[in-house]
Amino acid sequence: MNEPAQHMDVGAYALGVLDAAEAARFEEHLADCSRCAAELDSALGLTPLLADLKESAPDPGVLIARPRPALLDGLLARVVTVRRAQRTRRLCLAAAAGVLIVAGPLAGSSFTSQNAPSHSTVSAAKAMYEEGEKIGAVDPTTKVDASVSLQEKPWGTHVALKLANVRGPLTCDLVAVGRNGERQTVTTWAVPAAGYGLQGAGADKWSKEPLYTHGGAALNRNDIDRFEVRTLDGKLLDTIKV
């Protein structure tokens, strides 16, 4: 049996209609084929469809060893249809979640600029930043302006970050450094080419807005020595002594 034909055996295997030799060959193929493994995982939800198969038998009391080809094709077509619908729904949800995560700071700024400003319309990260103990610093070399807002929690320290005067494209993280030298990543983000919190000529309404983001460290507030804003390739952008 060639490999394309084996790809077609997923539904038949799930329904138990392959003979012993065919089943053995398919199981050997399955061990190295992630595509068929994924299809089989979905096809194992065929219990309701098997009820349809039983009802279509001339004598419901007789166990059918192999369904009619047309009926088997119909069952497998229904499996494919259901699987495609589920996959489309998952992709749509994932895409929507990605838009919310990546565009969160920009979406918050846009919403605020188009409506009467109020505490309820600002982004969640900005609201969290406003509530905590604020400590900031401007790096003398990079000129990056970063400040953190700290809130003690039973699990450690909640940290909100305000970041300005930084151009991209960059991928960065905020690292909490303990007094004992322990390092914990608080949050990561991407800086678009236009940057955040830039002023002067060439800065548009989006790049003038600082970035607000937040995360947490398991370190207690009094055990933190400093925060470092770094690119993921190791460049230090700013240091905030606590």
- Residue 78: the pLDDT is 59
Least confident of 6-10, 65-69, 83-87, 235-239: 65-69
Query: pLDDT grade, residue 101 (50/70/90)?
Result: very low
Higher-pLDDT residue of 207, 129: 129
Q: What is the largest CA-CA distance in the chain?
A: 86
Higher pLDDT residue, 230 or 33? 230
Which residues, 6 or more positions from 236, have their beta carbon under 8 angstroms from its beta carbon? 139, 228, 229, 230
**Is it true that the peptide bond before 67 is cis, omega within 30 degrees of 0?**
no
What's the pLDDT score for residue 149?
97
What domains can you pick out in the chain, each with its CATH number? 3-101 (no CATH), 125-241 (2.60.40)
pLDDT grade for 65, boundaries at 50, 70 and 90: very low
User: What is the mean predicted confidence (pLDDT) over 158-162?
Assistant: 97
What pLDDT digit, counting tens, does each position of 134-145 carry? 999 999 999 999
| Strands 133-138 and 156-164, bridge-based pairing | unpaired
Distance CA 202, CA 14 (A): 61
Other Cβ atoms less than 10 A from the Cβ of 104: the count is: 17
Residue 67: name the closest of 12, 24, 23 by CA.
12
pLDDT score of 226: 98
Amino acid found at 37: A
Beta strand 236-241 with 224-231 is antiparallel
pLDDT for the residue 18: 76
Percentage of residues of the chain with pLDDT beyond 70: 58
- In which band, very low, low, confident or very high, does the pLDDT at 192 lie, cut at 50, 70 and 90? very high
At residue 52, the pLDDT reads 54
Q: Tokens 């970035």, residue? A: 211
**Selection from 71-85, 97-111, 187-201 with the highest mean pLDDT:** 187-201
- pTM across the whole model: 0.51
* Per-residue pLDDT at 146 exceeds 90: yes
Q: How buried is 186 (Cβ within 10 angstroms: 0-12 exposed, 13-18 middle, 19+ buried)? A: buried
What pLDDT sits at residue 29?
A: 76
Q: Which two tokens stand for residue 135?
A: 């400590």
b/e sequence 143-166, b meaning 16+ C-beta within 10 Å: ebbbbbbbeeeeebbbbbbbbbbb
Whether 238 and 226 have beta carbons less than 8 Å apart is answered as no
With a cut of 70, say whether residue 173 has pLDDT above it: yes
Assigned token pair, 104: 């969160």
